[in-house]
Structure 1
Amino acid sequence: MIPRGRPVLNETDVARRAGVSLATWRRRHAAAFRKHVPDLLPDSRSLLYDLAQTDAYLKGRPIPELPDGEHPDDLLTADDVAQILGINTSTVRAYATQGHLSPGTTRYGTRLWTRREVHDRRDNAPGQGKGGGRRAGEPQGPRKQHAYEGDPRLDTAREALTAAGGTPKSRIATALAAQHGGTPRTWERLLTTAAATHHTGDDDPV
């Protein structure tokens, strides 16, 4: 998470502010720096650091604390979003691709969403709201026709099938997993379901 309104730096920027090359920084300075200045996105491949904390360290001053608590303008990673929404990270990316969640903003190649948006998505998910629940004693609604009914990744799978022509399904699944997250096996299942439903106009298998 990046706290609200906090400028961040990657390791290249930190080395530049220290007046050394990135290679020299990593070899001579990075280990000590990381003991004092925390990586803001420990679950991400990106190493991002708070600008104020970085400058304080480089100038030999006390490291300022980050803001306490949660704020609507905090920026959250896909892992953070997944925990709040109760879904997996690959589904977060699929939601962003299909418009069920905004594309978010990007910091040094890492996609981020505001806490405000994520909480709004959680509290106002499709199907929720007045009269959205089933009262005790009422019969349960129709059962899903298949495991992926309503999954936005089905649209991605259908588009991939249309564009791929005769490409083997396993290769399409591997490419989709690399692009959107998840496993190739999951995408193979989605592709199979998409192939069975694409010409009906809905998610009812034929």
Structure 2
Amino acid sequence: MIRAGRTPMGSADVAKRLDRKKLLPAVAKTLPPPISRAGAQTRIWDFEQVEAHLAGREIPEIPQTDSPDDLLDREEARLQLRNVIKPSAWAAYVAHDFAPSPDQNVCGVPHWKRSTILEWDANRPGERAGGGRPKGSKDTKPRDRAADPRLARADARKERVRQMLLKTGPKLTAAEVAAAESITERQASRLLSELRSTAA
């Protein structure tokens, strides 16, 4: 995570600062810990910390308070979701442009502002946004869809998934739909089957 207001440095940036063509592993080990997520493929350091280290000064602490402008990599962004989805589903969601566009590319790694992810997630349909009759309902006549907000929401969901199908084609999976609509994969699978059968 890159905290708001901090300046990131990649391996190439650090190497250039050291007048080297490449940052050797042995040299990297002497630097302050990277600010990139543990396990991230691309290591990113904090400029002020690296500069202090090279000058022999005390390494400044990085603020730990969350800010809307913190920059999150793909995995960190996924973990901000209210209903955390599988990494593979989130990766597909990002790849198919169903997630918001990254706010910044840092050392070749897409990053999103915390506020971007939280706002987008807050505006996604809720897990129980679908239609259907209340439990125990005895009425048998078709409902007026325009007058029932639950049915209207279900229609809106169906239309969103139809648009996803048009954009992605037959490669669209139930996992991707489930991630997009905050529903179970079983619900997503049924919805996909219905839309594909009507389109056939």
Gaps of 5+ in 2: 137-149, 155-159, 174-187
1:100 maps to which of 98, 101, 111 = 98
Q: Which amino acid aligns with 1:93?
A: A
Aligned equivalent of 1:12? 12
In structure 2, C-alpha distance between the alignment counterparts of 1:66 and 1:83, rounded to whole Å: 21
In structure 2, C-alpha distance between the alignment counterparts of 1:67 and 1:198, rounded to whole Å: 50
Q: Deviations over 1:108-135 (max 9, x none)?
A: 221111111111123222247xx9589x
Q: Deviations over 1:89-108 (max 9, x none)?
A: 33333333444322112112
In structure 2, C-alpha distance between the alignment counterparts of 1:152 and 1:75, rounded to whole Å: 30
Q: 1:52 to 1:158 in 2, by over 3 A?
A: same
2:46 maps to which of 39, 43, 50 = 50
| Stretch deviating more after TM superposition (69-78 or 114-123) | 114-123
Contact preservation (8 Å) 2:96, 2:168 = no
SS at match of 1:55: helix
Q: CA deviation at 1:139?
A: 2.6
Q: Which amino acid aligns with 1:96?
A: V
In structure 1, C-alpha distance between the alignment counterparts of 2:166 and 2:95, rounded to whole Å: 10
In structure 1, C-alpha distance between the alignment counterparts of 2:29 and 2:91, rounded to whole Å: 32
Q: 1:106 to 1:151 in 2, by over 3 A?
A: farther
Q: CA deviation at 1:160?
A: 5.7
Matches within 5 A, 1:1-206: 1-22=1-22, 25-26=23-24, 28-33=26-31, 36-85=32-81, 86-104=84-102, 105-127=104-126, 138-139=134-135, 150=161, 157-158=168-169, 198=196, 200-201=198-199
Aligned equivalent of 2:142? none
Question: How many residues in Structure 1 have an aligned counterpart in Structure 2?
Answer: 160
In structure 2, C-alpha distance between the alignment counterparts of 1:123 and 1:27, rounded to whole Å: 42
In structure 2, C-alpha distance between the alignment counterparts of 1:132 and 1:45, rounded to whole Å: 37
TM-score by length of 1: 0.61
TM-score by length of 2: 0.62
What is the root-mean-square deviation in Å for CA atoms of aligned residues?
Answer: 4.0
Contact preservation (8 Å) 1:37, 1:57 = no
In structure 2, C-alpha distance between the alignment counterparts of 1:39 and 1:99, rounded to whole Å: 27
